[in-house]
Structure 1
Amino acid sequence: MDVSALPGFYAIAAAEPGRPALIDADGTRTSYGELLALVNQVSHGLRARGLRTGDVVAGVLPNGIDQVTMVMATWQIGLYYVPINWHLTASEVAYILDDCDAKVVVTDPGHAVPGGEIGTAGLAEGQPTGAPAERTAGALMWYTSGTTGVPKGVQRPLPGAAPEDVVPLLVWFLGEVVDLAPGEETHLVTSPMYHSAPCAHTQFALHLGHTVVIAPKFDPEAILQLIERHRVSNAMMVPTMFHRMLRLPEEIRRRYDVSSLRQVVHTAAACPVTVKQQIMDWWGPVLYEYYGSTESTIAFSVKPHDWLARPGTVGRPAPMFEAKIFDDKGVELPPGEPGLVHVKSAMGSFEYRKDPAKTAASMLGDWYAPGDIGFMDDDGYLFLCDRRTDLIVSGGVNIYPAEIEAALLDHPAVADVAVIGVPDEEWGHTVVALVQPGDGVTPGSALTAELLAHCGPRIARFKHPRVVEYRSELPRTPTGKLSRSKVRESYLAAAGNTSSSE
């Protein structure tokens, strides 16, 4: 059946119940009809618990059918759903549950919290499989990572319309940004759904009638196996995944057929130009990139051929978005001048839950600042420099850590790297590179000399690290984000107690 005329998951599942919906991490298969029946039962179960439009439900769940069910059940009965990172401590989880006023919490046996429902079975038990009455679209509410303070919920007004009235705009937007369309496609989930982009793409895939395949975890060769086995056509990944893929031996890379891939969307962190170029040399021109934040959603996007024509760009403003670059005084800057990126969207506003002051502080009139420094060229393509909070000022000169990291990551001996600025009485900051060597690579003065020589033709001398140290691992989230503030704090705490400086 052609599902292109059907407005989203609920209508597709009703019209074609046998359509494959989900292949879970353990291989269990669920059809659209089976998934809709469970989603409807859980929706009825939540209503039976007394939840009404605008109430909040939270989930501390790994990727799998329970997480998918909670997203789709809350979304059709006007609830806010808060997916919570199950790696957080008990006190961190408790803070979010208290702040969001969750009336129901769903967990699994491995991540139980006080008062939580274990799985969706209890909510679904004894409930009808038919659609609930008075259906109205809900929303996902994400808690920011809290790198500059305690996490805050990013809350948007509910649409006030039936899910089927909201879906067409989402489908159109996805088509414009990343060329995704309804049909017989397969989407691969590679990252935890407690992060916004992986969760959103899973939901989008179901609204498009695609089959969702959930990877048990990210393992480079296992991902290639899944792509070949299920003829995966689209996926969402992050740059660190590409970096790990490229570290596979050539004979393993050639072993698997990835010709089914048409859209591999990446976001969450800057992708070094050479890494992206090598992946497209391998997979073809299939990498779609977008840039935004939890608050701004997808603000900029770039398709493969446009990126190849302008390597390094994160794209032009997405449909319904405007963008400007301002200096610290709120003065708009011309093309080519780096400053603070600001965006404005016709798709709706947001607020930080219970924090109007923080909401107001993040805005410049109607413009929101994601916190990145960048510039736009004459054609409106954005090029990012770095996070404002990670900027290094050495000798009065601005230095962007991401640029140095990209240069070092281009060396085959480097598995991962974090560049930070460390206070220096003379220079203001000293550039320090913390390097995670690749497997079988011996750290030491010889490697340090080799890395600095490698930087020579790639970045200006004043940007070169003054100090290179080695780490067995660097703290990245599953979506590839590196908190340089945490790395910096750890480094400073150990200062004077380490002999690993080269």
Structure 2
Amino acid sequence: MQSSIPAEYLPDEADGPDYVHAVPEVHYPERINVAEELVDRHVREGRGDNVAIRFEDRTTTYAELQESIDRMGNALLDLGVEPGDRVVIRFPNRPEAVVSCLAAQKIGAVALPSMKLLRAAELEHIVNNAEATTVVVYDDLLGEIENALPSLETVEEVVVADRNGVDHDHHDYDALLDAASSDLDAHETERDDLALMLYTSGTTGEPKGAIHTHRNLLASADSYARYCLEPTEEDVFGGNPPLPFAYGYGDLVTFPLRFGASTSLVEDATPGDLLEAIDVHGITVLCSIPTAFNQILSKHPDGPKEYDISSLRVGMSAGEPLTPTTYESFREAYDIEILDGIGTTEMLHIFISHRHDEEIDPSATGFPVPGYECKIVDPETGEECDRGEAGLLAVRGPTGIEYWNRPQKQTSAVRDNWSYPGDIFVQREDGRFEYKSRNDDLIISSGYNIPGPEVEAVIEELDAVDEVAVVGSPDEQRGAIVKAFVVATESASPGDDLIEEIQNHVKETLAPYKYPREVEFVQELPRTETGKIRRIELRKRERKAA
């Protein structure tokens, strides 16, 4: 057990998930360090000259990355960071973020990446809850840390990467690295020592700390990435998920570095920036969210002609359901399949997906990732449902749900050692799992169960609709009615005619009781920093109005 982690902050065995290691690649020795596996191993085995990071017009080899990690690790040790200490790392998608996370892990500390848009009050909750001792921060993001500092109870040191000339009186990132030794042996971490803490993006309330071990991180790459993507040293992973997003951390850190491949980092990427990175960095595996894929299509209709996209071989999508409309449109324009996946911050990465070389049905998420088991259970009885029947998804595999110091949440999220991410699925006769909704997004109207995302996918088929979110709005007679918040395209005319078109299209496609009885046109939808629609805000607004 890492010395500075209070045992009572971790779930006990009875409340934790039952880890299953069903594929041979996820069997690891008792002592293993994720940073050593992701970087040092490649240098030791002769891949030191492989490019690890592509950023702007610069490249960083594995040997160069190892030296930076070792210097940063020694700098953290010199500042008093001990095994088990939580280190907050606050950057956009830049190389310094990768260096800092891996350096913390190499010395046995716990990396805690922080979303860059968080304000002081949110940072105060997260940092104090994690009892972090050190903050490493990009100078452009320092302001909110300084605003929070008087209320941060455990932070002793702040390290600032000076890149924009922001005035401060904290430790200088570059000076610390220059002064530190480049010789560092990895701490002898055990495979079940904590390596990473990620706080949920808060679509359903206050952020919670999800904890992941050295073994969990490696297993996410040795299950999903290895089997569904089959990466090689020639691959370049790129995209715009932020690194503090579990999906982004896997896509842009763990996966490429596990296989000696490259990661393409783009700071604050716009759709145009992503297309340019595909062209310049030669991205082969494009990782993003449905919103971004749609933005690429809408904002750059001639993207395939304006940029060299020939390097692309596969796409990945998570964070929100990928609709068949988006899947087909992107495949037609960019000639690649997009693998939709379901994963959560708590589970670390994707556990249901198609594989890149199998027949993809865009109306389903896919099959359990090799190494994972999934079942659908009745939310009331806990009994396994028949195929074709909707229920709560239960999962077990080499990763699972473990919360930091949230015993009540832990007992509700793990039952009989199966993890319950909170999603409603149907398992079809062919074995594929079809997403219906988050449990919170299920609308109960006149006794009917209506999955909001199912209605959204149908409304999105209309050319006049750019984006849509569907929630339940309180209603005295029905309990709730289906309400759609719609962002119309620039060429559309929001009004009664379009409302009627939307309602009729849903009635003609789904059971008539699922149609939106109310439609409200909005300029934009509320989203988290990771791009997920904050339906909780829309539901709260409707309850307040009622």
Question: Residues 143 and 183 of structure 1: is their aligned pair in 2 closer, same or farther, counting only changes over 3 Å?
Answer: same
Superposed displacement of residue 181, structure 1 = 2.2
Q: How far apart are the structure 2 equivalents of 1:213 and 1:249?
A: 20
* From 429, 435, 439, the counterpart of 1:388: 439
Residue 178 of structure 1 aligns with an amino acid whose one-letter code is C
Are positions 1:107 and 2:137 aligned together? yes
Q: Secondary structure at the match of 1:97?
A: helix
Residue 155 of structure 1 aligns with an amino acid whose one-letter code is I
* Per-residue deviation, residues 327-350 of structure 1 (Å, max 9, x unmatched): 1221111111101111112x2554
Question: Residues 394 and 350 of structure 1: is their aligned pair in 2 closer, same or farther, counting only changes over 3 Å?
Answer: closer
Question: Residues 421 and 121 of structure 1: is their aligned pair in 2 closer, same or farther, counting only changes over 3 Å?
Answer: same
2:196 counterpart residue number: 140
Within 5 A, what are the aligned runs for 1:122-137?
122-132=175-185, 134-136=187-189
2:381 counterpart residue number: 329
1:473 counterpart residue number: 524
1:500 counterpart residue number: none
Within 5 A, what are the aligned runs for 1:129-208?
129-132=182-185, 134-136=187-189, 139-159=195-215, 172-203=222-253, 204-208=255-259
* From 408, 411, 414, the counterpart of 2:462: 411
Q: How far apart are the structure 2 equivalents of 1:315 and 1:181?
A: 19
Superposed displacement of residue 101, structure 1 = 1.1
Structure 1 runs of 4+ with >6 Å offset? none
- Structure 1 window deviating more from structure 2 (213-222 vs 375-384): it is 213-222
Question: Residues 440 and 208 of structure 1: is their aligned pair in 2 closer, same or farther, counting only changes over 3 Å?
Answer: same
- Structure 1 window deviating more from structure 2 (454-463 vs 263-272): it is 454-463
1:116 counterpart residue number: 158
Over the residues paired in the alignment, what is the CA RMSD in angstroms?
2.4
Q: How far apart are the structure 1 equivalents of 2:399 and 2:533?
A: 29
CA contact (8 A) 1:188 1:212 kept: yes
Superposed displacement of residue 97, structure 1 = 0.4
2:6 counterpart residue number: none
Question: Residues 251 and 299 of structure 1: is their aligned pair in 2 closer, same or farther, counting only changes over 3 Å?
Answer: closer
Q: Point out which structure has higher relative CO (alpha carbons under 8 A, 6+ apart).
A: 2
Are positions 1:344 and 2:396 aligned together? yes
Equivalent pairs counted in the alignment come to 481
Q: How far apart are the structure 2 equivalents of 1:18 and 1:362?
A: 44
Within 5 A, what are the aligned runs for 1:362-381?
362-381=413-432
Q: How far apart are the structure 2 equivalents of 1:397 and 1:171?
A: 40
Superposed displacement of residue 305, structure 1 = 5.6
Are positions 1:37 and 2:67 aligned together? yes
Residue 70 of structure 1 aligns with an amino acid whose one-letter code is S
Within 5 A, what are the aligned runs for 1:396-475?
396-475=447-526
Question: Residues 86 and 252 of structure 1: is their aligned pair in 2 closer, same or farther, counting only changes over 3 Å?
Answer: closer
Q: How far apart are the structure 2 equivalents of 1:16 and 1:104?
A: 32
- Structure 1 window deviating more from structure 2 (229-238 vs 37-46): it is 229-238
Within 5 A, what are the aligned runs for 1:15-34?
15-24=46-55, 26-34=56-64
Q: Which structure 1 segments of 5+ residues have no match? A: 1-5, 161-165, 497-502
TM-score for the superposition, normalised by structure 1: 0.89
Q: Which structure 2 segments of 5+ residues have no match? A: 1-35, 150-156, 162-172
1:486 counterpart residue number: 537
TM-score for the superposition, normalised by structure 2: 0.82
2:88 counterpart residue number: 58
Question: Residues 87 and 251 of structure 1: is their aligned pair in 2 closer, same or farther, counting only changes over 3 Å?
Answer: closer
* Per-residue deviation, residues 185-235 of structure 1 (Å, max 9, x unmatched): 222131211211111222221232222222233433332232122221112
Question: Residues 460 and 74 of structure 1: is their aligned pair in 2 closer, same or farther, counting only changes over 3 Å?
Answer: same
* Per-residue deviation, residues 443-493 of structure 1 (Å, max 9, x unmatched): 222322333333343223211111111111111234331121112223444
CA contact (8 A) 1:322 1:344 kept: yes
Superposed displacement of residue 127, structure 1 = 0.8
Superposed displacement of residue 283, structure 1 = 2.6
